[in-house]
Amino acid sequence: MLPFEFIVDGPPVSHQTRNSQRLREWQQRVRAAAQLRWPTNTAPIDLPLQINVTYYHDGVAVRIDNDNLLKPIQDALNTLIYEDDRQITDTRVRKTDLNGSFRVRGMSAVLAEGFCRGNEFLYVRIELAPSHGEFI
């Protein structure tokens, strides 16, 4: 099951949007994309986790804060992938221009699918959290 990865066609919706309907629809899209790859009848994970989200966008910059990009995604995955988003002890959020150059060797099939679609997308990867036995 882990690492678990999926893509969502973007662009994402900010946690701070004033349009609550749009936010709910975005969270439903995220959850639906995850459900397509999550094994049927598999219980949510109950361990410390790390979530990595990369927003592959078209253009040099985007106007969404990392924390506002991440929160709706974390909430959408509650009770499906993990029991509660409090289990997420480590996060990594990146915003990357689709027009950049990328190393292809070792790319997962899921990430490759996102690039093949040719549109903005989010790549989400969830894995066990690293040990917190050492100070950073």
**pTM, two decimal places:** 0.95
Domain of 30?
4-128
- Which CATH number do you get for residue 104? 3.30.1330.70
Percent of the chain with pLDDT over 70: 99
- Kindly report, residue by residue over 32-59, the tens digit of the pLDDT: 999 999 999 999 999 999 999 999 999 9
User: What's the pLDDT at 123?
Assistant: 98
Token digits for 91? Answer: 């996060």
Question: Which residue bears the tokens 């709706």?
Answer: 72
Query: Is 134 inside any structural domain?
Result: no
Overall domain count for the chain:
1
Query: Is 135 inside any structural domain?
Result: no
Calpha distance 71→75 (Å, rounded): 6
Residue from 26, 112, 98 nearest 61 by CA = 98
